[in-house]
A and B are shown apart, each in its own frame.
Chain A
Amino acid sequence: MLMPKPDQSVLERRDLIVNALRAIVEGEGVIAQEEQMRAYETDALTAYRQMPMIVVLPQTTKQVSEILTYCHAEGIKVVPRGAGTSLSGGALPLADAVLLGLGKFNRILDVDFENRAVVAQPGVTNLGITHAVEQEGFYYAPDPSSQIACTIGGNIAENSGGVHCLKYGLTTNNVLGIEMVTIQGEVIRIGGKHLDSEGYDLLGLMTGSEGLLGVVTEVTVRILKKPSTARAVLVGLASSEAAGACVAQVIGAGIIPGGMEMMDNPAVNAAEDFVGAGYPRDAAALLIVELDGPKVEVDYLIGRVREIAEANGATSLRVSENEEERNAFWAGRKSAFPAVGRIAADYMCMDGTIPRKMLPEILRRMSEMSIKHGLRVANVFHAGDGNLHPLILFDANQPGQLEAAEAFGGDILKACVELGGVLTGEHGVGVEKRDLMGEMFTRVDLDQQQRVKCAFDPKGLLNPGKVFPQLHRCAELGRMRVHEGQLPFPDIPRF
Chain B
Amino acid sequence: MSSTIKPIDEAQVLDAVVWAIKAEAPLDIVSTGSKRDLGRPFQAEHTLDLSGLSGVNFYEPEELVLSAKPATPVSQIEGLLAAKKQMLAFEPMNLGPIFGQPADRGTIGGVFACNLSGPRRIKAGAARDHLLGFNAVSGRGDPFKSGGRVVKNVTGYDLSKLITGSFGTLAVMTELTFKVLPAPEKTYTVLVAGLDDATATAAMSRAMNSAHEVAGAAHLPADIAVASVVPYVNDAGCAITALRLEGFGPSVEQRCRELREELAGFGSLEELHSRNSAVFWHEVRDATYLAEPLNRVIWRLSVPPASGHAVVAMLSRDLDVHAFYDWSGGLIWLSLPPTRGADALAVRSAIAGFGGHATLVRAPANVRASVPVFQPQTGPMAALSGRVKDSFDPKRVLNPGRMRAGL
* Interface residues in chain A, defined as those with a beta carbon under 8 Å from any beta carbon in chain B: 112-117, 137-138, 158-159, 161, 165, 169-170, 172-173, 182, 184, 186-190, 192-205, 207-209, 225-228, 248-249, 251-252, 254-256, 293-297, 300-301, 353-357, 382, 385-387, 420-429, 433, 437, 440-442, 444-449, 451-456, 467, 478, 480-481, 483, 487-489, 491-495
Contact = CB atoms under 8 A, between A and B. Distances in A.
A90 B305 CA distance: 36
Nearest to A451: B391
B21 interface: yes
A379 to B, nearest CB: 15
Interface residues of B, number: 105
B40 interface: no
B145 A445 contact: yes
Interface stretch (B4-12, B221-229, B230-238): B4-12
B333 to A, nearest CB: 14
B211 A228 contact: yes
29 contacts: A116-B208, A172-B158, A173-B129, A187-B380, A190-B381, A198-B357, A198-B375, A200-B389, A201-B164, A201-B166, A202-B385, A203-B161, A204-B128, A204-B158, A204-B160, A209-B158, A225-B209, A225-B211, A251-B182, A294-B211, A295-B254, A385-B150, A440-B156, A456-B384, A489-B7, A489-B16, A492-B5, A492-B15, A495-B6
A494 B158 contact: no
Given A195-B126, A249-B62, A294-B212, 19 more contacts: A170-B151, A170-B152, A188-B380, A196-B121, A196-B302, A197-B165, A199-B375, A202-B388, A205-B162, A208-B158, A225-B210, A251-B64, A420-B148, A421-B150, A448-B146, A448-B159, A455-B387, A481-B140, A491-B12
B25 to A, nearest CB: 10
Nearest to B131: A204
A420 B152 contact: no
B155 A437 contact: yes
Given A115-B305, A173-B125, A421-B150, A494 B211 contact: no
A478 B155 contact: no
B280 to A, nearest CB: 21
Given A194-B330, A228-B211, A293-B251, A200 B158 contact: no
Interface string B70-84: 000000000000000
B150 A429 contact: no
A494 B3 contact: yes
Contact of B152 (A137, A161, A249): A161
Contacts of B140: 480-481
Q: Among the interface residues B153, B160, B403, which one has the most CB atoms of the partner chain A within 10 A? A: B153
Contacts of B60: 355, 357
A424 B154 contact: yes
Contact of B247 (A226, A297, A478): A297
A489 B19 contact: yes
B37 interface: no
A422 B148 contact: yes
B394 interface: yes
A203 B330 CA distance: 19
Given A170-B152, A294-B254, A481-B140, A201 B377 contact: no
A421 B151 CA distance: 10
A385 B6 contact: no
Nearest to A165: B152
Contact of A188 (B148, B166, B185, B384): B384
A198 B209 CA distance: 26
B24 to A, nearest CB: 12
B159 A205 contact: yes
A300 B185 CA distance: 13
B21 to A, nearest CB: 7
Interface in B174-224: 181-183, 185, 205, 208-213
B211 A448 contact: no
